[in-house]
Amino acid sequence: MLAVPSYHRILVKHGLIEKTLSIPDAYEVFLKVGADPEVQKLRRKVARGDKMKHVPALYLATAMALQGMTKQELEALKLRMKEKRV
C-alpha cells in the first residue's frame, strides 16, 4: 500500500474529505482549502509574517490553520468548498 500524503491526512482529519478520495482529487481540494481567504488569514498568523519557501512548511501552516478553526468555521469552510466544486 502506498503512503498517503500529508495533505490527504490533514483534510481527512478535519473532515474536509472522505478517506477514500483519490490522492489527485485530495490535492485539488487541498489547494482550494489553502486558497480560501479564512484559511489564508489564519495561516498568516501561524507564519508570523515569514515567507514560506518550503512546501512542507506550507502544509504545516495549513494544518495548523485548520487546527485553529472552530467546528463552525470548519463547517463554513466545507460549504465554501462544496460551492466551488459545482
* pLDDT tens digits along 62-79: 888 999 899 999 999 999
Quote the DSSP letter at residue 1.
-
> Helices 6-13 and 55-67: crossing angle, nearest 10°?
10
Count the residues in the chain: 86
**Whole-angstrom Cα distance, residue 30 to residue 11?**
7
Which pLDDT belongs to residue 31? 93
pLDDT band of 58, cuts 50, 70, 90: confident
* pLDDT tens digits along 15-24: 999 999 999 9
* Higher local confidence (pLDDT), 80 or 2: 80
pLDDT band of 2, cuts 50, 70, 90: low
